[in-house]
Chain A
Amino acid sequence: MDVIVVEDLRKSFDGHEAVRGVSFTVGEGEIYGIIGPNGAGKTTTLRMIAGILRPDTGKVLIQGKEPGEAREKGLIGYLPEDAGVYRHLKGIDFLRFVAGLYAEDENEVDRMVERGVEISGLGEALNKPMGGYSKGMKRRILLAAVLMAKPRVAILDEPTSGLDVYHSVMVRNIIKEYARSGGTVLLSSHNMLEVEYLCDRLMFLHRGRKLGEGTPGELVSRYGGANLEEAFINAIGGDSVEA
């Protein structure tokens, strides 16, 4: 069953069309990637699917529900690309705050927070204000906050952005583990190698348009090249990547 259905999604800002008729579906337990350069429309697409932006036209359904409703019912977890943290809030308090919005009762809050503590791997640092966290620590606590509630759909915008190799690997493993447990993941990245490693299927997005879709292997064989990066360059026909 398709957990995410996107049909002919369009969005413009001040006359500039950021997303131009994008359609795709994502099945249960699948990791689906949207890859493209900066300005390709990845973040705008994810924001519309997460129910944060309203599409100009087109349709998004999460488990058959409109994004706004799905979000309010806790079906979606969303990690923005450059999300920050509340400087004066302790990590553990932040997890408890987020869990309180997803959970039905206090026991569930405790279970979610326990899971969040495990996912973040931050240990004693969780009892310190997040303002003092490193970039990697911030990213891990945010990812933990998104995944601890086990939403049906995790929407991750550049999940390893700005992380060092060690933490990137750690985050990728968390995502893999989440999908293995039945969660559906929609992520964006301009790191083609990461997407190749993580995603079951993916889409090339360029200047708001979907160029191609398939497994990493299918896309490489369709467009040619030694890897996804070369396949992408071939797909855009040597066009400049900046919009």
Chain B
Amino acid sequence: MKLKQVMMKEVKELLKERTVLLGVILGPIIIFVIFAGMSMAAGQQALEQAEQVRNYAIIYRGQAYSDYANMLADSLGVPIYLGDVDPSELLEDRTAVVIIDDEFFDNITRGIPGRADIIVMTMSLNFLSMSLPQQVEASFTQGVYNLVASLIKASLPNVDEWFLQRPVVSNTTLYYRGMPLSPGEAFGLVFGVGLSVTMATMILVMSSMQVAATSVGIERESKTLEMLLSLPVSRRELILGKILGVAFITGLGIISYAVGIGIYFYSLGSIVNQAPEQGIQASPTISMTPLSIVAFMVGLTVTLVTSLLIGMVVGSIPQDVRGAQLASSYVGLLLLAPVFAVFFGIDLTSLEGVWSIVYLDPVVLLYLVIWGVVTGDHGMATTGFAGLLVNLVVWVVVASRALGSEAILVGGYSRRLRSVFRAGLPRSSS
């Protein structure tokens, strides 16, 4: 009986604790709902890509084996174009083009793997699109195998089993937004830039938010805020001073980041440059120029300042440090979720409707800047920069209202949230 009393007291007490409600009970639901939405979108794109694998054409640049070429196309269910057709025209509405000639059929009718050029076009680079060339190659190889097995094998009784297992040797080129990428470049972009750099950036962004939220949380918890607000300094200077102080700490993080990324790119360059025989070539696409490095660092700095502001606003809602850190963790996860989804197949530039809301996310915008800068896509980088600047201005205003508001002192969630939208504390006329 006493045990029950103690337990009920504990349950009632904890259920009224906002951090418990947010972190343990509501948080997972919110996070998983968001992730579920992202996963559904990624899954949808994966299905669409599966369809795209079959959306390729064959160009036959020969004459002697047109019967075989037509049979091959029929068995695969793909169109075939004869003669000197420009592949780029076909790629406007197709995922890939496979180019073969008479030598291809000369080889396979003699039991030697035929050479085919496969050109694959993609508008996004991620784990899914990285596998597109292999998927197209596999589809085409299956068709060739069927052709060989049904027709050619009959006239080649001593055909090598090894040949049947691999009747096609392909030379694959991946085009990303019209830009040809070697396997080394694609690897460098997806793993080097898309995954590693972005992950490191996201960690830095999340850490900055935590530092900022903690800074505000400490002021509230240690009850130093009220006295600070009473000192002869304008609200603007107070908020700016706080931002600069936190930014200094984050600046140390940027220096650490710059050293780390330098080591990383040096290592990545070594890997890419030292393995040409494995089909991985030097990667001029991801060799960042001084200008692109400056653009990247400016974008990173703007994002970090915005993250600090978001962290401060989020940190001003709970009453203590623990709550501030928890809230900033959840908001950080929400901001990072869209970029995680990119790795699994979502093309951010194709998002429409309600999903366009991700363009309010500074992490997404920084991702566009990084990706645009690294791949030389100026439109994407400019969009990212413009979005980041708008975001910065918006958060400066929100943070000024939230931190300068009396609600930060007197408590009450509804009041605090309302305070974001109304005028702040009284200001002097000077």
Contacts and interface: CB of A to CB of B under 8 A. Distances in A.
Interface of A: 13-14, 47, 50-54, 66-69, 71-74, 76-80, 82-87, 98, 101-102, 142, 145, 155
A66 B222 contact: no
Contacts of B231: 71, 98, 101-102
22 contacts: A13-B412, A13-B415, A52-B230, A52-B409, A53-B409, A54-B425, A54-B426, A66-B426, A68-B426, A68-B428, A71-B232, A71-B428, A72-B428, A73-B430, A76-B230, A76-B232, A78-B226, A78-B227, A83-B226, A86-B224, A101-B231, A142-B227
A67 B409 CA distance: 17
B426 A51 contact: yes
Interface string B233-273: 11000000000000000000000000000000000000000
B219 to A, nearest CB: 9
A86 B227 CA distance: 11
B232 A78 contact: no
A47 B234 CA distance: 16
Contacts of B414: 14
B224 A84 contact: yes
A80 B429 contact: no
B234 to A, nearest CB: 6
Given A14-B415, A83-B224, A85-B224, A69 B230 contact: no
A67 B426 contact: yes
Interface in B205-238: 222-224, 226-227, 229-234
Contacts of A82: 223
Contacts of A101: 231-233
B233 to A, nearest CB: 5
B291 interface: no
Majority secondary structure, B binding face: loop
B222 A52 contact: no
A54 B230 contact: no
A74 B232 contact: yes
Interface string B27-71: 000000000000000000000000000000000000000000000
B104 to A, nearest CB: 74
Interface of B: 222-224, 226-227, 229-234, 406, 409-410, 412, 414-415, 425-430
Contacts, number: 82
B222 A85 contact: yes
B412 A14 contact: yes
A72 B406 CA distance: 16
Contacts of B409: 47, 52-53
Nearest to A86: B224
Given A52-B229, A52-B230, A74-B232, A69 B224 contact: no
Given A66-B426, A67-B426, A74-B232, A84 B222 contact: yes
B224 A53 contact: no
B279 to A, nearest CB: 55
A77 B415 CA distance: 27
A240 to B, nearest CB: 24
A98 B227 CA distance: 10
A59 B132 CA distance: 72
A85 B232 CA distance: 18
Given A13-B412, A52-B229, A142-B227, 12 more contacts: A13-B410, A13-B415, A47-B409, A53-B410, A66-B426, A68-B428, A69-B430, A71-B231, A79-B227, A80-B230, A101-B231, A102-B232
Nearest to A131: B222
Contacts of B425: 51-54, 68
Contacts of B232: 71-74, 76, 101-102
Nearest to B231: A101
A74 B233 CA distance: 8
Nearest to A67: B426
Contacts of A54: 406, 425-426
B230 A66 contact: no
B428 A53 contact: no
Of A50, A72, A78, A102, most buried by chain B (CB within 10 Å of CB) is A72
A69 B429 contact: yes
Contacts of B430: 69, 72-73
A53 B229 CA distance: 10
A50 B230 contact: yes
A131 to B, nearest CB: 9
Nearest to B224: A84
Contacts of A98: 231
A148 to B, nearest CB: 13
A14 B230 CA distance: 24
A73 to B, nearest CB: 6
A23 to B, nearest CB: 19
B34 to A, nearest CB: 31
B238 to A, nearest CB: 10
B230 A87 contact: no
A54 B428 CA distance: 12
B318 to A, nearest CB: 17
Of B223, B231, B233, B409, most buried by chain A (CB within 10 Å of CB) is B231
Of A13, A47, A84, most buried by chain B (CB within 10 Å of CB) is A84
A142 B223 CA distance: 12
Given A13-B412, A52-B406, A52-B409, A86 B226 contact: no
A89 B239 CA distance: 20
Nearest to A65: B428
B224 A66 contact: no
Nearest to B430: A69
A97 to B, nearest CB: 9
A86 B224 CA distance: 7
B223 A84 contact: yes
A155 B231 CA distance: 12
Contacts of B233: 72, 101
Contacts of A86: 222, 224
B411 to A, nearest CB: 9
Nearest to A76: B230
Nearest to B428: A69
